[in-house]
Amino acid sequence: MAALDYLPERVHPAIYAGIALVTFFAVLAWRAPAALIPHLVPQGGPVTLERATGSLWQGRAELEPVGAVRWTINLLPLAWLKADIDWILEGDGLLVAGNLSTRGGDVDIARVKGQVSPSAVNPFLARYGMSVEGDVRLSEIEARLQGNAFTHASGLLAWTGGTVNYQLGGKSFTIDMPPLSAVLRMQEDAPTLDISMPGSGETVMQITLNSEGWAELKMTKRFLEVAGFPWQGNSAETYVLVVSEKLF
């Protein structure tokens, strides 16, 4: 019994009550159904969570209109008041996995990899009179948000190339595009994709997303030439055509 001499002779009842209360809520949370998740996620955004099954810690839900998401909440980081979630997003032509963690006001997205096929992106592109062939592969994607602003973004993307159909000025066009690769990075406090043709290393297109939800797409003379629209002007600027679109 000497090894137990350090224990207090009496433990205040409040301590027992506290331990019992913490245990009760831990078990309650562990057994909580995944159906609670949609009620915890803000509604009215571009995507919604529906028809959740499983538990709060490990479950599945429909992420409309994208597909379905499966998640597992890792328990150990909770001891440091940090949410840490492994997730898989899957749908028609879509399989992407990664990790999301939060602490305080920071949100970290890490280890994102996967593949996106035309059937996943063409419904979105149809609004702009476009459709594409070829798959996009994602690897090593990471990002950090503080509030609504990105403070870090990095990763690699690669498109296998293929036929692109689009409408312009009431006319339909079809072009065959070569493979493209992209590097995700931060530029002037905004996540930016530098897109190039493999082997050249030259950036032919750049896409930037600012904190107000505006996406800016900039194209070089070289890209327009490959796309079948040779630039006729004499501009010395790197990017000769700029298009902006409000995404959210």
pLDDT at 247: 79
Cα–Cα distance, 239 to 49 (Å, whole number): 39
Cα–Cα distance, 205 to 216 (Å, whole number): 10
User: Residue 180 pLDDT more than 80?
Assistant: yes
Calculate mean pLDDT across residues 21-42. 52
3: in domain: no
Q: Do residue 80 and residue 58 come from a single domain?
A: no
pLDDT in tens, 133-156: 999 999 999 999 988 789 999 999
pLDDT at 155: 97
Q: Do residue 242 and residue 127 come from a single domain?
A: yes
194: in domain: yes
DSSP letter (8 states) at residue 179:
P
Confirm if 115 and 128 have CB atoms less than 8 A apart. Answer: no
Q: Do residue 86 and residue 200 come from a single domain?
A: yes
Give one word for 57, left, alpha or beta, with left for phi > 0 and alpha for psi -120 to 50. Answer: alpha
135: in domain: yes
Range(s) of the domain holding residue 19: 12-67
2: in domain: no
Confirm if 72 and 86 have CB atoms less than 8 A apart. Answer: yes
Q: Do residue 111 and residue 36 come from a single domain?
A: no
Q: pTM (2 decimals)? A: 0.78
Cα–Cα distance, 36 to 95 (Å, whole number): 25
Alpha helices in 90-247 (DSSP H): 118-125, 221-226
Q: Do residue 44 and residue 151 come from a single domain?
A: no
Q: Do residue 30 and residue 104 come from a single domain?
A: no
Q: Do residue 82 and residue 174 come from a single domain?
A: yes
Calculate mean pLDDT across residues 91-104. 92
Higher pLDDT, 86 or 50: 86
Q: Do residue 140 and residue 20 come from a single domain?
A: no
Q: Do residue 20 and residue 91 come from a single domain?
A: no
Name residue, tokens 């490959």: 226
The CA-based angle 143-146-147, given to 5 degrees, is: 125
Q: Do residue 80 and residue 20 come from a single domain?
A: no
User: Residue 47 pLDDT more than 50?
Assistant: yes
- Work out the burial of residue 171: count CB atoms within 10 Å of its CB; fewer than 13 is exposed, 13-18 middle, 19 or more buried: exposed
And the tokens for 105?
A: 């006001």
Q: Domain count of the chain?
A: 2
234: in domain: yes
User: Residue 29 pLDDT more than 60?
Assistant: no
Share of the chain above pLDDT 70, in %: 80
Cα–Cα distance, 197 to 201 (Å, whole number): 7
Calculate mean pLDDT across residues 22-31. 50
